[in-house]
Chain A
Amino acid sequence: MGMDIGSTASKCVIMKNGREIAAQSVVPLGTGTSGPERSLEGVLKESGLSQEDIALTAATGYGRNSIPQAKLSFSELSCHAKGACWLFPAVRTVIDIGGQDVKALTILNGRLDQFVMNDKCAAGTGRFLEVMAHVLDKELSEMPELDARSKNRVDISSTCTVFAESEVISQLAQGVDICDLVAGIHRSVARRAASLVKRLGIIEPLFLTGGVAQNSGVVRALEKELGLTVRTDPRAQLAGAIGAALLAWEQIREEE
């Protein structure tokens, strides 16, 4: 089993023989809440297994060191690298946009080669999108569809989340179309991620993981920013948990 306990969500997967996902669970509550426990219960329930049936559990993410069931813990970078490779075997560069983190990784021979993480602040993370969605009085899930209807994207220039909030409010007050603002917000996130990954040097193919990968608006904006195809997978949010499970699997194989 792999558990990815992040700041805003707890993700668990059970993998069979290191090859298939037997069960998965995502709970939108992170470390320090009931999220991890609920996610664990959820994935056991779905698989019909009990904790004793699990050969080895590895944890990753912000809350990785507070899970009693996990005998192993790995950094989320190694796990996202591993998970991304499983989801997309040809991958060379991974961007992970999480709740409060943005990371870029390069893969070499199926392993993590180099990485870089965002500096200082919330801009460009899932948190930024949450704040902006709140300002617009929309659900996060509505954002991709609003973006798709945008005709005249309005750029948000501020790098500071607080300044950006005030910019968006200002634009709303002037009667700017919400769809155009959402497109601008997505572009902001894409620009931050693009800037980060360029520091590493991009080698294609590029794969996007993390909760924000489910936002097709951000994916499209990122493709535009980088001028290349950005691949993702509906299971991209599980990349960390998958990676952790695979690393646990490898550990068992080594011991045998």
Chain B
Amino acid sequence: MAELNKQEIKPAKIRLKEIAEKATQDAWEAKKRGEKIGWCASNFPQEIPTTLGIHVVYPENHGAAIGAKGGGQRMCEHAEGLGYSSDICSYARINFAYADLKECPELNIPQPDFLLCCNNICNCLIKWYENLAFQLDIPLILIDIPRLDAFECDQDRIKYIRAQFDDCIRRLEEITGKKWDEERFKEVMAISQRSSKAWLKAVDYMKYVPSPFSGFDIFNNMAVACVARGTLEGAEAFEQLAREYEENVKNGTSTFKVKEEYRVLFEGIACWAHLSYTFKTLKNFGINVTSTIYGPAFSFLYQNLDELMAAYSYVPNCNIFEREVELRVKDAIKNKVDGAIIHMNRSCKKWSGNLYELERQLREQAGIPTVMFDGDQSDPRAFSEAQYLTRVQGLVEIMAANKRQKEEQNRE
């Protein structure tokens, strides 16, 4: 009981940071013990390694962290020196550099003995992991989740995903010597559900006006939703996060430290390499992010195996376009946004390919003004402070005018 209370004293965001760091630490320790560890794609069914008790680390998260800590350019340049085009995903470039250098000052992750790839978010991952398998001469397991062509995931896809899920388990048992346990699997699924629901609940607090937290906090807190959502600590930390936000709502406080003048939907991956600038610019205008895709993105809700398979096809960038639009529009309306800021991410062709139409649909269906800016997730060179500021300022002017007009209408 005393232990629990000690944990409670730490704010949830600190707990979450520690849990994310611990996930990497655990992998290091497993490696030192002689266990095989893997590199894993961000939206791979974590239920598999978690149930088997296998430790994995996530190169995409690693790339985000390196970008945020200022190492993005150096690592990208190293990859470009190896012959990689600057056109490809900056997470991949950073990871190729890391696989070559074996270490970097920003953050180190243990080298992999096997690779777990899932292309639900993009096919770029397939090429990335193919190269790693070749370069490092280690086994690669791919769970192929074909982009949906309808709102719902069909039985053919579910069957295919399920077969690959089972095949992955067999191969991992061979590679690591660990054994699958159905009871443990049930436990992991239950914890993952608890965790997903808690994450969704916490993120949902953004709907309050004013929001009890700064939207950019999501970018920090979500690491656990990616790397440790199958853990009890993760579930508990998210539940604590939700409780903290509940408190804030009651007290009328927020982690967003200035008056919330405007509420926006932020579309896209964060510009990790320019997190501070992109946030501060918004804050200076009193803009809080109160809608992002990252709630549903990392909540995998299922009640049986079929639904688990389907859940991994409902991730952003795997849905049919109309479902992607619906996710944004519903959230924008529920969370009462005044406008949207859209990140055209040079690194991500999948996310950018329909972004212009998404913007149009968002404007029309949610009835909000939008602006788009050029940036990149972890390569600092593809962003212009002047462009971002100008465009945000433009959006503010429109939102201000809309606000004034509404106030006038209310008075009449």
Contacts and interface: CB of A to CB of B under 8 A. Distances in A.
Interface of A: 119, 157-160, 163, 166-167, 169-170, 191, 194-195, 198-199
Q: What bracket does the count of chain B residues touching chain A fall in? A: 10 to 19
A166 B373 CA distance: 15
B382 A159 contact: yes
Interface in B39-98: 73, 77, 80-83, 85-86
16 contacts: A119-B86, A157-B73, A157-B381, A159-B86, A160-B381, A166-B386, A167-B385, A167-B386, A170-B385, A170-B386, A191-B77, A195-B77, A195-B80, A198-B80, A198-B81, A199-B83
A9 to B, nearest CB: 28
A117 to B, nearest CB: 13
Interface string B155-179: 0000000000000000000000000
A198 B82 CA distance: 7
Which 3 pairs show the lowest CB-CB distances between chains A and B? A198-B81, A159-B381, A163-B384
Nearest to B273: A157
Contacts of A199: 80-83
A170 B385 CA distance: 9
A159 B384 CA distance: 10
B387 interface: yes
B210 interface: no
A167 B388 CA distance: 12
Interface of B: 73, 77, 80-83, 85-86, 380-387
B342 to A, nearest CB: 18
Contacts, number: 41
B382 A160 contact: yes
Contacts of A198: 80-82
A159 B380 CA distance: 9
B81 A195 contact: yes
A160 to B, nearest CB: 7
Nearest to B77: A195
B81 A158 contact: no
B1 to A, nearest CB: 52
A166 B387 contact: yes
A246 B77 CA distance: 36
A163 B86 contact: no
A26 B380 CA distance: 39
A119 B82 contact: no
A185 to B, nearest CB: 14
B202 to A, nearest CB: 34
A27 to B, nearest CB: 35
Contacts of B80: 195, 198-199
B85 A119 contact: yes
Contacts of B85: 119
Contacts of B387: 163, 166
Given A195-B80, A198-B82, 18 more contacts: A119-B85, A119-B86, A157-B73, A158-B381, A158-B382, A158-B384, A160-B382, A163-B384, A163-B387, A166-B384, A167-B385, A169-B386, A170-B385, A170-B386, A194-B77, A194-B81, A199-B81, A199-B83
A119 B83 CA distance: 12
A157 B77 CA distance: 12
B384 A167 contact: yes
B273 to A, nearest CB: 9
A168 B24 CA distance: 40
Contacts of A194: 77, 81
A39 to B, nearest CB: 36
Contacts of A169: 386
A192 B279 CA distance: 30
> Residue among A163, A166, A167, A199 with the most chain B CB within 10 A?
A163
Contacts of A167: 384-386
A170 B81 CA distance: 30
Contacts of A119: 85-86
